[in-house]
Structure 1
């Protein structure tokens, strides 16, 4: 029995025919497709109308196979386009994210920019009202609390035509005077400093006196006004402005608003009056200031002239 099976195996009995093996197309089918293609080529090159039925028959037989092959190849051929489209979308997404980040930054900074613009516009108006030329500057530092002095540093110095003992203002009123300068910076003594003395005038009665600071820079900052005529009683809510200096406009020009009277105290022993002044300037939020300079001063930055123009 075993010997017979081996003999059959040697003769090829029991093996599946080559064309029936799974995974390989039958040889006859391949030959038929080749012949069909050749026939189509011959038929396409012929203009004889008698061959139309043959063309139709072969087309109906081979058409489904061609359609199936095209369906199988089309997704592969479209992969490159799909990859290019994804790269384009990724690039557009990156650009949009960058643009959104920039817009968010602008929105966050918008209130600050609006406030600075308002201060610059107010400074231009102040130059016109005072009939003085101003060098705009920005506060970049504040005096140390350990020094017990109320000073700030601005980003303009001698290169901008600034010298000591010049008046410093902002759009609200008097800020202080220049103490010392470098080429690019200047130190400003604020009027709230205890060592600061400013000549002031009551706007209503035109009485003059002297104001001294208390060393407080916040919302509770106050100045004390003592009038030259001790018998005069300042009126509450009266406005106080600078009355100028005996040496021209140094260190304070005339007519700069300082503050308003909030209370008055009388001394029976000295028969004097002392008025408490609430300054117009918020010293805790100083940013843009203007240094009063003689008109025509040479500067490395724009100068706001008395007529509001920039030079």
Structure 2
């Protein structure tokens, strides 16, 4: 039996229920992985609240790292005893062990700890697709990145620096701005005390940025459009402040023939080969020291509700993990 956090009804963190489940053996195309550390992400909050509805009851969690205990028929990229990490559907990472599809489970190099592996996969592969698979970006370009001191944001700051890209970040406190700057942001604006859209225009000498990477959603969407240069790309990849309301698509023409996309990691990693390539690229960045994984908070698996409360209250910096 294995301890697992499940959800029986959408709602607040108090909806989590800890149960013991029989994990069983992997079927064809599956593996059984014993978790050493588990990652927390805002998509977990969206699923818990029902913003992203799930068929309930269901185990929760999208990201973890551990050791492969058993391998089903047809799995060739992993074997028993391998260190591995993943970010993938279906949810179920909030557990001591689980059986899951093998295609999106990736080898974890020896030079990366289980804690780092659990903290980096969803956030790091998100940064990988934002910078390399969404719109052409090159050294010398400028991007605006909201929530730059969060788990994804601190990775993005480092990634941009390693690619020679200027990153203008936003964060909610001066301390978080300092953290983003220390991780590679070229500039960071306190959105509570500064007119950040105006400041971005000033920092770019009125030209605007090549791309906006926005996981905040409702509160930043309109200002983000105003920060883009003509033909710039708006990447809306999250809804931390709530979903973006309907808008007149004609605004994109009026503001400079802007482009907009709503990408998801799970589209990109749906293909096995692409997923493995993205994970390998991320691991290379970490092993080279270009990207360091900052774990700001640790909670026990039994304290998952407290972890969610801290995440929603914006009380976290960097990555948050559950220790098994």
Give the TM-score category using the shorter length: under 0.3
Structure richer in helix, relative to its length = 1
| Higher alpha-carbon Rg | 1
- TM-score normalised according to structure 1 size: 0.24
- TM-score normalised according to structure 2 size: 0.23
